[in-house]
């Protein structure tokens, strides 16, 4: 059942709201007074979101919009604007993972992940910008990843999409600044989310990249021990929307703060040298020296 926002109530759209960071963010923003519209690919999969909203005593409107499909996004945001009248804040959260070393990743794999993680963001952003420009205000929040700053091993499609989204977000921030619209990039490290349970592909078609895949899974295995609750990301998103001292990037979650800001300060030789280390224990030790993150388990 949809409700109409009050005149002074911010209208915030959260894409991919049925699980993980999206669900936690939708519930949190609703709890602090936002009129939240969550987009989902299917209403049938939103039972847990609705149950948690009931438990928390908050309301989240639901609209079907598959960010991977032009027509679905167009129809979904037309419905949102018809119901709510405006969108003050857009949280581009919907995304997918993607494992594979460069040699073993097909063009279609790249295209599939890019279609969600990059093109999905542009579809939704294009749907809300005209009315934000007209009002002279608004916030676009793009969820990238620590893998959008550091080239996470054996995740070529995911890394490519998140690096692309980082660049697009920088570009967008400058383009829309004259219209009073802000852009915030949220860079999570390892967060409690269903994306990791789904991200178990081990292509390894050639058999030549055992160490690379093993070390990728090692990183996430270590991270899941101390994974940050998704609610913490939701709180950072709220801060990015409401702060009087905005900035472009907000690293968050396990390893996010430590790693996201290091890319430009890591010596290229140190980065490449990691790949030449044969022993996993030596690799983990050197990783900790460079990034300050313990990935041994």
Residue 146 counted as domain residue: yes
The domain total for the chain is 1
The CATH number of residue 258's host domain is: 3.40.50.720
Residue 113 counted as domain residue: yes
Residue 154 counted as domain residue: yes
- The pair of structure tokens assigned to 276 is 């030449």
Q: What is the pLDDT of residue 57?
A: 97
- The pair of structure tokens assigned to 270 is 């140190």
SS (H, E, C) 116-133: HHCHHHHHHHHHHHHHHH
Q: What is the pLDDT of residue 234?
A: 98
Residue 202 counted as domain residue: no
Q: List the catalytic residue out of 158, 209, 250, 283.
A: 158
Q: What is the pLDDT of residue 199?
A: 60
Active site (annotated) includes residue 209: no
Residue 215 counted as domain residue: no
pLDDT in tens, 33-80: 999 999 999 999 899 999 999 999 999 999 999 999 999 999 999 999
Residue 254 counted as domain residue: yes
Residue 95 lies in domain: 11-197+228-265
Q: What is the pLDDT of residue 5?
A: 85
254 backbone dihedrals φ, ψ, rounded to 5°: -55, 125
Residue 214 counted as domain residue: no
Spans in the chain with pLDDT lower than 70 = 1-2, 194-200
Q: What is the pLDDT of residue 194?
A: 62
- The pair of structure tokens assigned to 200 is 């178990």
Residue 20 counted as domain residue: yes
């Amino acid at each position: 059942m949809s409700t109409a926002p009050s005149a002074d109530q911010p209208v915030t759209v959260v894409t991919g709201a049925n699980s993980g960071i999206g669900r936690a963010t939708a519930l949190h923003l609703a709890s602090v007074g936002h009129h939240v519209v969550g987009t989902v690919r299917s209403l049938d999969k939103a039972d847990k979101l609705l149950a948690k909203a009931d438990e928390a005593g908050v309301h989240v409107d639901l609209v079907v919009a598959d960010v991977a499909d032009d027509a679905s996004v167009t129809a979904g945001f037309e419905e949102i604007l018809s119901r709510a009248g405006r969108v003050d804040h857009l949280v581009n959260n919907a995304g997918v993972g993607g494992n594979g070393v460069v040699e073993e990743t097909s063009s279609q794999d790249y295209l599939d992940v890019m279609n969600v993680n990059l093109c999905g963001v542009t579809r939704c952003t294009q749907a809300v910008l005209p009315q934000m420009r007209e009002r002279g205000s608004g916030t676009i929040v793009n969820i990238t990843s620590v893998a959008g700053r550091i080239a996470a091993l054996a995740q070529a499609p995911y890394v490519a999409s998140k690096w692309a989204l980082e660049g697009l977000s920088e570009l967008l921030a400058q383009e829309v600044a004259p219209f009073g619209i802000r852009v915030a990039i949220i860079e999570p490290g390892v967060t409690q989310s269903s994306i990791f349970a789904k991200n178990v592909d081990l292509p390894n078609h050639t058999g030549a990249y055992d160490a690379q895949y093993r070390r990728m899974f090692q990183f996430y295995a270590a991270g899941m021990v101390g994974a940050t609750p998704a609610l913490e990301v939701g709180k950072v998103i709220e801060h990015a929307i409401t702060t009087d001292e905005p900035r472009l990037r907000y690293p968050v979650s396990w390893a996010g703060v430590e790693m996201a800001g290091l890319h430009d300060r890591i010596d290229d030789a140190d980065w490449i040298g990691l790949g030449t280390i044969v022993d996993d224990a030596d690799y983990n030790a050197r990783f900790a020296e460079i990034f300050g993150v313990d990935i041994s388990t």
